[in-house]
Amino acid sequence: MAHIQLKNISKKFGNHTALADLDLDIADGEFFVLLGETGAGKTTTLRLIAGLEKPTEGQVFIDGVDVADWGAAERDVALVLQQYSLYPRYTVRENLEFPLRPKIRRVPEAEIKDRVARAAQTLRIEHLLDRKTDRLSGGEMQRVSIGRAIVRKPRVFLMDEPLSALDAKLRESLRTDLKSLQMQLGATFLFVTHDQIEAMSMGDKIGVLNHGRIVQTGTPQEIYNNPRDTYVASFVGSPPMNLIDGKLVDGRAVMAPMNFELPYAGAAGGGNGGMPKAGGAMDGRPLVFGIRPEDVHLESGAPVEAMVHDVENHGVEKILTLRVGDTTLRATVPARTDVQIEQPVRFAWNPDKVVLFDKASGVSLQHSA
């Protein structure tokens, strides 16, 4: 287990800046997920912690010690990659034993056998120990890769999109297993992914990375309910948060360009969850209104009429795309809702769940307050 800190980290490759002014704090024993799109700088961050890259500027601390000049072997971290990194002509047992065999480790034979047996039991691969790895499925190979990390008893587990090459059902199963494993080991995990479902379902904390900068850090609930800006709002959530241009007028949310209106909870005073109170300097200010699809409701007497543009059936629910003029938004409704494409409907939103963003900067007014 280990406490990881990155302070004022910048990393350049030639003229390209991969990371800029990055600060990160991962608590001892925490499952931290670094979430970002391809090219955001996730793998570079992982490689800096692993000791495979050196920062251009800044410091890397493990348990309070600056390790920026330490090599990978000195940091005692385990790296699990999307590629399985196994020896195909070795058995599963031999692959698990391999990290313990170098003379520099001097692990007694009895302890090697014990560590391999424990890892195999934890990952439920005991029945595979004498099988060659080139005869394993993708999920089995990834379990063996994780087992190679476990037997080393590292201070930190670093995982670079380890589930992305697997099919959907297997990814779901291994998400559960990895989280259970982390809790069982009590270890510090840094898990890198572009998949926000993985991030939301596995992480104790999530750091959202965009163009080499940490945009927001928080629990999954904090990230989902109070996104710092429109990037996080549109990136986290499936379907993502609806973002609609508009302004406040006398306590009402007036949407551009169709000028349809919906209530805003801040009008009652005190604001919404720390959001600014409507009125005064807020009136007329260009804003973006954010509302999650599950907080948009179809009601016969609701204030706004829309046309159903699309219907996605997801078993327990339907995701509707509604169109009001040139504005589209998503609504999540129960599967039993009887609705057809091109059907007119009326909708409202939950005014207590509205998030206001500044139109110019994209930053939530709650976070900029």
The tens digit of pLDDT for each residue in 277-297 reads 555 557 788 999 999 999 999
| Sheet of 287-291, strand order | 260-263, 252-255, 242-249, 287-291, 355-358
Choose one of 209, 235, 261: the last residue of a domain: 235
Mean pLDDT of the 338-348 span: 95
Kindly report the backbone phi and psi dihedral angles of residue 106, in degrees, each rounded to the nearest multiple of 5, phi listed first. 55, 50
Q: Residue 232's closest CA among 249, 215, 248, 255?
A: 215
In this predicted structure, what is the pLDDT of residue 274? 45
Same-domain pairing of 350 and 326: yes
276 confidence band (pLDDT: 50, 70, 90): low
Mean pLDDT of the 7-28 span: 96
Same-domain pairing of 41 and 185: yes
Same-domain pairing of 267 and 330: yes
CA distance 56 to 104: 31
Q: What CATH number does residue 301 fall under?
A: 2.40.50.140
Total structural domains within the chain: 2
Name the average pLDDT for the chain: 89
Residue bearing the bigger pLDDT, 84 or 8: 8
In this predicted structure, what is the pLDDT of residue 109? 92
pLDDT digits (tens, 9 = 90+) for 175-201: 888 898 899 889 999 999 999 999 999
244 confidence band (pLDDT: 50, 70, 90): very high
Same-domain pairing of 218 and 270: no
DSSP sequence for 133-163: GGGS-HHHHHHHHHHHHHHT--SEEEEESTT
Mean pLDDT of the 224-242 span: 95
Residue bearing the bigger pLDDT, 305 or 272: 305
- Provide the percentage of residues in the chain whose pLDDT is more than 70: 93
Same-domain pairing of 267 and 200: no
Choose one of 188, 205, 235: the last residue of a domain: 235
28 confidence band (pLDDT: 50, 70, 90): very high
Mean pLDDT of the 333-345 span: 95
Classify residue 91 by its DSSP letter: B
Dihedral sign for Cα atoms in the order 180, 183, 186, 188? positive
Same-domain pairing of 169 and 89: yes
Same-domain pairing of 267 and 352: yes
Q: Residue 273's closest CA among 215, 315, 222, 335?
A: 222
Same-domain pairing of 179 and 155: yes
In this predicted structure, what is the pLDDT of residue 271? 42
In this predicted structure, what is the pLDDT of residue 280? 52
Strands 31-36 and 205-210: parallel
Same-domain pairing of 98 and 216: yes
pLDDT digits (tens, 9 = 90+) for 92-133: 999 999 988 876 678 899 999 999 999 999 888 999 999 999
- Provide the percentage of residues in the chain whose pLDDT is more than 90: 67
Same-domain pairing of 141 and 194: yes
Same-domain pairing of 146 and 61: yes
Q: Is the pLDDT of residue 270 over 70?
A: no
Mean pLDDT of the 56-73 span: 91
Q: What CATH number does residue 206 fall under?
A: 3.40.50.300
Same-domain pairing of 22 and 59: yes
In this predicted structure, what is the pLDDT of residue 139? 86
Going from the C-alpha of 253 to that of each of 267, 305, 306, 365, the distances in angstroms are 10, 15, 17, 15
In this predicted structure, what is the pLDDT of residue 174? 84
In this predicted structure, what is the pLDDT of residue 268? 36
Sequence length of the chain is: 369
Mean pLDDT of the 295-309 span: 94
Choose one of 175, 201, 235: the last residue of a domain: 235
167 confidence band (pLDDT: 50, 70, 90): confident
pLDDT digits (tens, 9 = 90+) for 31-44: 999 999 999 999 99
In this predicted structure, what is the pLDDT of residue 64? 94
Q: For residue 256, what are the domain limits?
A: 242-368
